[in-house]
Amino acid sequence: MQLRWGAHTDTGKVRQQNEDALLAEAGLFAVADGMGGHNAGEVASALAVTTLKTGLREGIATSDVLRNLVQQANSVIYTASLDDSTQVGMGTTLTAVAVVPEGDGHILVANVGDSRTYLLRNGEMRCVTTDHSYVQELVNEGVITADDARTHPRRNIVTRALGIDRNVTVDVQSLRVERGDRLMLCSDGLVDEVTDADIADVLRMHPIPNEAAQTLVHAANAAGGRDNTTVVVIDVVGDDIDISGDSTRPFVTPLQDDATPAAIAVPEAKKKRSRVLISLSVIVVVAIVAIGLSVLGMYARSGYFIGEKDGVVVVYRGRPGGVLWFKPTISAVSEVSVEDLPPDVVSDVESERTFSSSLTAQKFLQFLESVPTTTTTSTTTTSTSSTTKTTVP
Ligand code: MG
C-alpha cells in the first residue's frame, strides 16, 4: 500500500498551550487530545503516541495487536498519574490508523474518546469512528441530532479516555481502503468549529495532504479556535508494494513531497479545556481519600495508654503500636520509675493498658505515683493497687 500524508497542529486562539499530540509515520498515524491540569494533558497525549509508536518495531498485523498497544498506552499514562501528584487524573483521547502488513488493502482504526477518523471516498465523507462522549450518547438515544451535538454545551465531556482507569475498552475496526481514498484524523478542536460539510469541501479542494491539513486547522482558528486543533490527512495513492517475506522493508512507502515537516510525532504543549466529567471523578476520588485519612487519623489519635519511656511511666496519646504512620505521642510524664513499681502494676505498664480519655489516664498515673514502691511490703502494694484500679474505667 502506497500512502502520502500531511499533518498540522495548532494551539488555537484561546488556549495557552497545545496539549494535542500526533504521530504520522510510515504505517502508523494517530491524534491524541490530552486533558489534565498543570500541563498533564500534554504529558498524557505524548505518552499515548510514543507508546503507540513502539508497535512499529514488530508491525501491527491484527486488531488485537493494535488494541493491546492502546491498552498499554493506557497503563503507561495511568501509572504515571499515580506516580506524580501533579498528574493525577490526566488522560487523553486517541484515534489511530495502522496499515496492516500483508493486509490485502486493509487498515485498522482504533479510537478512545472523541478524536475522530474520517474517510473520504469518491467525494463522499463519512466518520469511521464513534465518539465516546456524553453528546454521542444523546445522539444515539435520539435526544439530539448530530448537528446539535456540535454546539451542545456539554460536548466536551468524554465518557472514555486513556489514563483514567486501570483498564480501558478500545474500539478497533478493520477497514478496506482503495486507491483514491483519503483518511483524515482530527481532534475535536476541528469538528467543534467546522461543520462536516465544510470539512469535506476542504478535503475535496486540496489534493496535497499537507495543504489540506493546514487549511482545516486554519478554518478551525478562523471559526474561533477555542481549542487546540490537530489534523492528519492520509491519501491512498497506490497498492503496488509487495512486502511479503521481507520484514525489514517498510510496509508503507511514503511520498515525502509535502509530508516531512509535520509528519513526525509532535507532542507539543498547549492548554486544553477542562473535561467536566473527568474533573468531577478526580474530585470525588480525592474527597473519598481525604475523608478516609481524616477518619483514620481521628481513630489513631482517639485513645490513651500507659507505657514506659526511658524507664519512667508515661501516658501516650494514640493506639499502642501506632496505626500506619500515625504514631503515639507522649501526653504526660510521671516521676514514677517502672523498676520501683510492684510486679502486678508493672504488668499494667508492660501491657500498655488503654484508657478512653486523658482524664482517666491521668487518674491512673496519679494512682501509680501513690503506690508504695517495691521496697514496701507486698501486702500493702497489692491491696492499694486492687482498690484503686476499680476507679479507673
Ligand atoms: Mg480538544
Ligand 1 center–CA 385 separation, angstroms: 75
What pLDDT does residue 330 have?
A: 86
Question: What is the pLDDT, as a whole number, of residue 374?
Answer: 63
Between the CA of 176 and the centroid of ligand 1 the distance, in Å, is 28
Between the CA of 255 and the centroid of ligand 1 the distance, in Å, is 29
Question: Three-state SS for 301?
Answer: coil
CA of 245 to the centre of ligand 1 (A): 41
Q: What is the 365 CA–ligand 1 centroid distance (Å)?
A: 66
Residue 93 CA, ligand 1 centroid: distance in Å: 9
- Segment 58-85 shows an average pLDDT of 94
Q: Which of 99, 16, 18, 77 minimizes the C-alpha distance to 267?
A: 18
pLDDT of 123 over the 90 cut = yes
pLDDT band at 254 (very low <50, low <70, confident <90, very high): very low
Span 207-231, pLDDT tens digits:
999 999 999 999 999 999 999 999 9
Q: Tell me, what's the pLDDT at 392?
A: 40
Does the pLDDT value for residue 206 go beyond 50?
A: yes
How many angstroms does the Cα of residue 115 sit away from the middle of ligand 1? 8
CA of 189 to the centre of ligand 1 (A): 5
Cβ-based neighbour number of residue 58 at 10 Å:
11
What is the per-residue pLDDT for 239? 67
pLDDT band at 122 (very low <50, low <70, confident <90, very high): very high
Distance 177 CA to ligand 1 centre (A): 27
Residue extents of the structural domains in the chain = 2-239, 304-370
Angle subtended at Cα 212 by Cα 208 and Cα 213, rounded to the nearest 5 degrees: 120
Q: How far is the CA of 227 from the centre of ligand 1 (A)?
A: 6
Instruction: Kindly state the average pLDDT of the residues 168-188.
Output: 97
User: Is pLDDT at 257 greater than 90 in this prediction?
Assistant: no
Grid coordinates belonging to 222: 478562523
d(Cα 96, Cα 25) in Å, to the nearest integer? 11
C-alpha cell at 87: 498528574
The CATH number given to 2-239 is: 3.60.40.10
CB 28 within 8 A of CB 60: yes
**pLDDT greater than 60 at residue 377:** no
What CA–CA distance (Å, rounded) separates 162 from 132? 12
Cell 492499694 -> residue: 384
CA–centroid distance, residue 216 to ligand 1 (Å): 15
**CA of residue 57 to ligand 1 center, whole Å:** 29
Q: What is the pTM of this model?
A: 0.63
Q: What percent of the chain has a predicted confidence (pLDDT) above 90?
A: 51
Residue 120 has what pLDDT?
A: 98
Q: What is the mean pLDDT of residues 106-111?
A: 96
Using DSSP, state whether 326 is helix, strand or coil: strand
How many residues are present in the chain?
Answer: 393
Grid cell at residue 98: 495502522
CA of 125 to the centre of ligand 1 (A): 21
- Strand duo 2-10 + 182-186: pairing: unpaired
Is the pLDDT reported for residue 266 higher than 50? no
